Chain A
Amino acid sequence: MLIYALKRLGVALLVFVSISIIGFVLLRASGDPAIALAGEGASQQDVEYVRQHYGFNRPIYIQYVDWAKRALTGDLGDSIYLRQPVSQVIAERAPTTLLLGALSLCFALILAIPMGVLAALYPNSYIDRTALTIAVVGQALPTFFFSLLLIVIFGVWLHWLPIAGNSSWKNFIMPSIALGYYATPAIMRLTRAGMIEVLSSDYIRTARAKGLRRSTVLFKHALRNAVIPVVSLAAVQLGFMLGGSVIIESIFSLNGLGNLAWQTIRRSDFEVMQAVVLTIASFYILLTYLADLLNAFLDPRIRTS
């Protein structure tokens, strides 16, 4: 188990480094950082000063190594626009996005798993058909359109929920539903398929034959086994949701990383852009790493393959 964990950790770190390189190259390719840093109305001399002082005239791999060294100490540079350290800007916004991601995943799981189980218990019934329809609709409905519909119906016509800002927990209800809905179909289908497979296995037939109560069979045995692949999928979906939060956050005016990314793109604040991409990628890497470990823990066969 330990060896497996270390091997996966190695891969995770390598992926992380690759993404930081990609982000860095993207940043430098976007324009002359000396001009951006020198500010408005800067003269040629000012720009040259910045270039020298910050070492933008050195080869790019040396610049990267320098950046990496600083980043390891937590210094991700400064935001040109906000005149604040990037790490501070990110630290201020990250909790909102993480909260949004967690709530969205909860919504997806609460909706998807019971539906998947029910659909598996009564395959091809109208419960199954309903679940399938919800899944199919979820995959085809564009997230931004769904968000707008939610806003119009629940925010304005019914006036039940606030639609902008992050002043209270109520502000997260609609965004979580909108974001979580996209992950629901995959989780539901996987749960359903897994449950069906497990339910028809010998192991379960034996348990039933032994006379165990239906609910015991269901929860103690079937679900626990069916849930294993769902864990991985959930982690992956959470990672995707964190990445896809930019649309939701900008529609609902939530002040998280996604919205920050969107704003910095419009403001051409490159240091922040790169840091946001890296941050979100690292969440994903962390999540999938933990999912891998959990999987390996639950299913010994994975460790030895």
Chain B
Amino acid sequence: MLKKLIIGLSAASFALSIHSGIAMADKADSSLTWATTREIPAAIPYYENVREMTIIGMNVWDGLLYRNPKTFEYEPLLAESYKWADNKTLEFKIRKGVKFHDGTNLGPDDVVATYNHVAAEDSGVLTRRNVSWIDHAEKVNDDTVLVHLKETFPSALEFVATVLPILPASIWDTAKVGAQGKPDYATIKPIGSGPYKITGFTPGVSVVMEKFADYWKGSPKGSPTIKKVTYRTVSDPEAQIAEVLSGSVDLIWDVSREKAEQIDQASLAKVVSSATMRINYINMDRAGRTGKGKENPFFDKRVRQAVAHAINRDLIAKELVGGASAKIHSACFPTQFGCTEDVIKYEFNPEKAKKMLADAGYPNGFTTDIYAYRDRPVTEAVMGYLAEVGIKTNLKYMQYKAFRENVWNDTAGFHEGTWGSYSVNDVSASTSAFFKGGRDDYCQDDEIKSWLETGDTSVDPAARKAAYKKALSKIASEACWLPMFAYSRYYVFNKDLDFTPAPDGFAEFYATKWK
């Protein structure tokens, strides 16, 4: 069989080299096509937080600072320089000579307008955590902007450098009125000042970016070699692989381990396994948002802990996800500042899980829904382990947007999610996004909230770490979350593409070239 397979695939490769009209076309006209299974319903930062949009955001918009993907240090971008004026005020000197994609000049007014708009309570920004630390911004003179913080927030610069792109001041007025009679900011024109500009967008289907000729010189992002980058949604993983093999798509990622290994063995494309900052977790309803009685078994701590013991996270990480993926114990990504694995650890022990369930009043287990939106095999493996201790699950698998809504409207109490923290390397972007109250918080514990608040706002790093450790310990002992594993991801791409996956998970197309 193997011999037949190799012969078949070699014939395919040979045919590929003859029929590779399309592949040559992409390289010849210096364009690149990448695809994932996800849909991008709106191509606007702040109002669409699916990861693919965040990546496009990094390519199409600039923020005030740039975080170097190798050193994680901050470099000047739209701000020529910055300093802390005091503990709660940041001062930025804005670069001159920067143009937006529509030809207008970028100035302090645009910075101020952006920050003030997103920081407003009713701005409708999807991830409030990213902007909730901003009080307001003000223009001091023609090249200086002050950003006032609500509290001391030492990781502010992380956010400035990764999740705060600058939009033109007038852009917010181009929003169409939505069904509720209010402006729907997801409909504004996607104008930025980054190395690429968006020249085409079909919701849920594709996004087209083209090189922006007037991108300012001297940017740490450099100048793009590839002229046109097209994102396409290809929701069928097999179709993705077929398209990479036939050349109509140049780059895909999140390829499952067994497929990536087969492709690598047969040398059909370049396969790279790279760490990401994404973690996978299972959220359980401790807060009683879906009920406090038999309809919500997870209200009982013993049930949550039983779930923690029932799932073999090591095997899932090693066998299903593969690469460098490993089990985690804390509700944060291991390299993030403030993250610690020194918390209570739940080892894989199905017998103990069954006993705990019996103690909690479920000797024969129970049935529940489980919601998920990506990496379905992982969820199914989880379902298999839960079934073995008596917890029967009905899978509700859906696109991210629908999943998000169900989590936020108290329907999806038991769900498996993932979080990339926008690649911000600080616990304030992960733990604090989920446990400080708010729509994603199914734990709702006042102690945890206050420790996280302390951690977020203390200036002294040691004090921050101590506070975060207390919060993380309680999260673990209460088993609000079951942190599952840190992702390692397989990239599969055209062999002629010179593409290096960044450890922070951002695909920097402006730094990608054809060989």
Contact = CB atoms under 8 A, between A and B. Distances in A.
Q: Let me know if chains A and B touch directly in the complex, using CB atoms closer than 8 Å.
A: yes
A81 interface: yes
Interface size bucket, A side? 35 or more
A164 B179 contact: no
Interface in A137-189: 151, 155-160, 162-165, 167
B85 interface: no
Nearest to B19: A159
A147 to B, nearest CB: 11
A253 B8 contact: no
B4 to A, nearest CB: 9
B11 A158 contact: yes
A53 B404 CA distance: 26
A167 B230 CA distance: 15
A267 B187 contact: no
A266 B398 contact: yes
Place the interface of chain B in its size category: 35 or more
B404 to A, nearest CB: 7
Contact of B180 (A50, A163, A165, A263): A50
Given A50-B180, A158-B15, A164 B8 contact: no
A297 interface: no
B41 interface: yes
Given A81-B41, A158-B11, A253-B239, A40 B179 contact: no
A82 interface: yes
A40 B126 contact: yes
A268 interface: yes
B248 interface: yes
Interface string B163-189: 000000000000010111110101100
A293 to B, nearest CB: 38
A39 B180 contact: yes
A299 interface: no
Contact of B178 (A39, A163, A164): A39
A167 B402 contact: no
A40 B408 contact: yes
A196 interface: no
Contact of B186 (A83, A151, A266): A83
A83 B188 CA distance: 12
Given A39-B184, A83-B186, A155-B242, A162 B248 contact: yes
A106 to B, nearest CB: 25
A84 interface: yes
Contacts, number: 96
Interface in B239-274: 239, 242-243, 245-246, 248
A303 B187 CA distance: 56
B203 interface: yes
A84 B180 contact: no
Nearest to B12: A159
Contacts of B39: 263, 267
A267 B180 contact: no
Nearest to A53: B181
B439 interface: yes
Interface in B319-364: none
Contacts of A253: 234-236, 239
Contact of A164 (B124, B187, B234, B401): B234
A41 B11 contact: no
A203 interface: no
A54 interface: yes
Contacts of B404: 40
Interface in B200-219: 203-205
Given A82-B203, A252-B239, A263-B235, 4 more contacts: A156-B245, A158-B15, A163-B242, A267-B204
19 contacts: A38-B180, A39-B180, A40-B126, A40-B401, A46-B182, A54-B179, A81-B204, A81-B401, A83-B42, A83-B184, A83-B203, A156-B8, A162-B246, A163-B246, A164-B239, A250-B236, A255-B205, A267-B401, A268-B402
